Structure 1
């Protein structure tokens, strides 16, 4: 009886290993499969982190039992090495310092979530605008790329941000693209690049999707002269899932299970499907401009997608991901939904060196900043 139970248990674990392996490989395939056509594969890619941990557990389990079945998860992990390498940065001994080397160029990527102004106006002291601005002053980047950058049209209600960056923080050069404006014109927000070095050229392109789904945002680039060297810096905010507070609550309810799980999931899956299609189109537009750049290029942005996604793979191409080159760990950049979400990036041309990349977690926005010290080619 005991031997029969052991045999049945082993068969169950073999089936579980097969199931996890198949799901893991499908999540790896999200890197190459167009999400606009096969959104359900892309959705599996969102669960890559959990599948990676599951298949790692299966590998350890079979090794402990000294069973040949360890070869199955091992082979799957070998096949999925590129997505694994994009998911985890393996540089525990790379120096991480707030002190910047004199020859380096410090770049910061941050979705500042409208400086938290929707929770409380600055004069009431409830928003986190002042803390965000002080944090930027402390880190002292040479170039900042921001998404959801808010600017006021009514100085009685909100403080101006562009003049503060220019006059108080010392960013004399900037390019701002407004993507959304409130109907009453009280404020607007979009994407922005601020630089301490001269900007020689600017360019903006709208994505051209339906405005009602906020799919008509922009990507911009600027050519910056850094001590006689020209570099092209891009930034963008790719299609968001546009989850409401009610849908965030649905996520928590789905995690707990229940009879209405399928009904609650329907609208959420629809938003995933729509967003994947838009982001694929946007990634293709950005990739074309990146490939056409006459200068070494840096792209910073909130891609709203994970490192093993088609969007990440398409935009990155043969470029360097600053975090996987010099960071360590998972590099979470979004504070909600899952502790494994890295959706904000700094990528560079191959000829640009990456000295360090930090991913601090100040509780100031729903996104965390990414800060990289780069070395431009001679």
Structure 2
């Protein structure tokens, strides 16, 4: 039994240091050391292991349980970025936004239209909406868009421009900024679709064949590392736009990055995560793989108050669930 406990202790300490490595994404960019960003992908499994081992020490009446409980406080905020309970707010929002990666409309443009029209949103942000497919949302005007992202608004558009137009190497990934006037005040909306990893389900599904599975893992890493570095370049452009904005910011879309990643920390800088402020339950938004993945977000300036945040799992109109949030804008 002592040997088993020693092995579990070594495992627990190892998991702790891996989780600490993940926190270093706030400081170390992928071009310097990309491996920390890989750890963010495994956060749900690492954290689950850490918690289970902590409970093991508690029921074993070991003093080390208190140490691991205390050290576990380092990961309280990282947990809230995946699973949160903010309670119910008595206030009502006066601005509603929906963000959805539409998977090129492959599951039906009409299905997307029906769902969004029922929500009566003020602004709709689509990513991978399907080239120049036509979407018609009640009461919403379509802004001049790109081949990847589109913005629909019920409010007056006062400005719009492309922030990122990737070259051939980076593929057709766009990010746009759109200025809208809401009750006499201007807000800047940045609709994001960061570089995709271009995974297919068959590429990440392990089948028990050691040689083939090992080759798949190597291929996954070969795709992840270069994409992390491309994200770093794209984030630099977006952060500059956020920092130079004269207006309050709403930064939303498909980040192709999980919480506690380099991308998350550096896009969040100076903003707030609406899910952390107003969400309840899980923020998992990509459902095509049997693994909790949150890659869709809505960040805002702190002057914009989040009231509700919901990942709507009642519909499957894409491989992403729609993200719906309401906010209180000052009048």
Question: What TM bracket, shorter-length normalisation?
Answer: over 0.9
2:128 matched to 1:148? yes
Please show how residues 43-58 of structure 1 align to structure 2 within 5 Å: 43-58=38-53
The 5 A counterparts of 1:182-331 are 190-208=148-166, 210-214=167-171, 216-243=172-199, 245=200, 248-253=201-206, 256=208, 258-331=210-283
| C-alpha distance in structure 2 between counterparts of 1:32 and 1:338, whole Å | 30
Structure 1 residue runs of 4 or more that deviate by more than 4 Å after TM superposition: none
Query: TM-score under structure 1 normalisation?
Result: 0.82
Alpha-carbon shift at residue 29 of structure 1 (Å): 2.4
Q: Greater Rg, structure 1 or structure 2?
A: 1
The unaligned stretches of length 5 or more in structure 1 are 1-5, 117-126, 153-159, 179-189
Residues 257-266 or 191-200, more deviating: 257-266
Mapped to 2, the partners of 1:268 and 1:333 lie a distance apart of 21
After superposition, the C-alpha distances for 1:102-148 in whole angstroms (9 at most, x for unaligned) are x61001111111111xxxxxxxxxx4221111000111110011101
SS for the counterpart of 2:267 is helix
Gaps of 5+ in 2: none
- Per-residue deviation, 1:250: 3.5
- The match for 2:134 among 147, 154, 161 is 161
Q: 2:312 aligns with which of 338, 347, 360?
A: 360
Rounded to whole Å, the distance in 1 between the matches of 2:165 and 2:69 is: 41
- Take 1:37 and 1:338, find their aligned partners in 2: how far apart are those partners? 31
* Contact kept? 2:173, 2:193, Cα under 8 Å: yes
| Aligned 8 A contact 1:21 1:72 in 2 | no
- In the alignment, the residues of structure 2 paired with residue 82 and residue 284 of structure 1 have an alpha-carbon distance, to the nearest angstrom, of 24
SS in structure 2 opposite 1:203?
strand
1:239–1:278 Cα contact (<8 Å) kept: yes
Return the alpha-carbon distance in structure 2 between the equivalents of residues 11 and 151 of structure 1. 56
1:183 corresponding residue in structure 2: none
Quote the residue 2:63 is aligned against.
68
Aligned to 1:37: 32
Q: For residues 170-181 of structure 1, what are the structure 2 equivalents within 5 Å?
A: 170-178=139-147
Indicate the larger mover: 34-43 or 233-242: 34-43
Question: Quick one: distance in 1 between partners of 2:292 and 2:216?
Answer: 23
Match of 1:181 in 2: none
